[in-house]
């Protein structure tokens, strides 16, 4: 791939996915080494005129929590009306400290904070389309309206919210990159390898921050 393709321009947007206390060490759904992305993202974001931040934002008792289903434990799956759902520890509940953005995240020029996963009965790993694969968050229309056609994705977790966001960006027709060193993974049952192979197949480009 040529430098030209990777270069950040006016049509480029950095999407910073779910860099929230609950996904950092000590949080309710801690991603190993999750805090390592913060300085990397702070540095990367300076190169982007356009930045969007996402925030996982669940209701108390959300359908994606194992505690909402009798006899179920975190990391088990259940069948819901829209398909299979992995169950998680309670995390990113609206208004809690765990749902707040990482204190050290320093991206003051971010223009939009988009919350997702707020429908009580529908999860949303993706920043574009909820887990029923029908309900839109509005992000695609926002980016289109602003003339932003090149999406660079970074944050937590590589194999869930980052991957789903990147796959949906690609499916919506955006040129899509994942900045690998700006991400960390949960990696449950081979989910990380599968995420990278799904993204490669979809035409999502895997890059490092140093490529930019």
Catalytic (active-site) positions:
18, 116, 161
Give Cβ neighbours of residue 19 (< 8 Å, ≥ 6 apart). Answer: 37, 38, 41, 53, 101, 102, 105, 155, 156
Cα distances (angstroms) measured from residue 189 to each of 15, 116, 148: 26, 24, 35
**Binding flag, residue 177, ligand VGL (CB under 6 A):** no
Binding mask 26-65 for Zn ion (x = CB under 5 A): ------------------------------x---------
Q: By C-beta, is 46 or 133 nearer to ligand VGL?
A: 133
The single residue listed with the structure tokens 């982007």 is 48
Q: Quick one: angle between helices 163-171 and 191-202, nearest 10?
A: 20
Helix extents (H) in 17-162: 37-45, 139-145
56 forms beta bridges with 116
Rule CB under 6 A: choose which of 41, 156, 166, 178 binds ligand VGL: 156
With contact defined as beta carbons under 8 Å apart, do 98 and 22 qualify?
yes
Taking the complex as a whole, the smallest distance from the CB of residue 86 to Zn ion amounts, in Å, to 10
Q: By C-beta, is 10 or 104 nearer to ligand VGL?
A: 104
Q: By C-beta, is 46 or 97 nearer to ligand VGL?
A: 97
Taking the complex as a whole, the smallest distance from the CB of residue 32 to ligand VGL amounts, in Å, to 13
Residues of the shown chain interacting with Zn ion in the complex, contacts defined by CB under 5 A = 56, 117
Residues of the shown chain interacting with ligand VGL in the complex, contacts defined by CB under 6 A = 18, 23, 56, 88, 125, 156-157, 160-161
């Amino acid at each position: 791939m040529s430098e030209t393709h990777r270069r950040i321009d006016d049509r480029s947007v950095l999407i910073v996915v779910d860099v929230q206390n609950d996904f950092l060490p000590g949080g309710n759904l801690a991603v190993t080494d999750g805090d390592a992305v913060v300085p990397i993202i702070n540095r990367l974001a300076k190169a982007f005129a356009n930045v969007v931040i996402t925030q996982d934002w669940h209701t108390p008792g959300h359908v994606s929590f194992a505690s909402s289903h009798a006899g179920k434990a975190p990391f088990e799956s259940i069948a819901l009306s829209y398909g299979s759902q992995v169950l998680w520890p309670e995390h990113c509940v609206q208004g809690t400290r765990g749902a707040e953005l990482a204190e050290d995240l320093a991206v003051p020029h971010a223009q939009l904070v988009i919350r997702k996963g707020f429908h009580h009965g529908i999860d949303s790993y993706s920043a574009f389309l909820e887990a029923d694969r029908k309900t839109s968050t509005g992000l695609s229309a926002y980016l289109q309206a602003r003339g932003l056609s090149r999406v660079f994705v970074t944050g937590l977790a590589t194999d869930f919210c980052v991957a789903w966001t990147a796959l949906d960006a690609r499916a919506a027709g955006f040129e899509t990159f994942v900045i690998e060193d700006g991400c960390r993974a949960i990696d449950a049952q081979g989910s990380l390898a599968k995420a990278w192979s799904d993204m490669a197949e979809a035409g999502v480009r895997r890059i490092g921050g140093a490529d930019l």
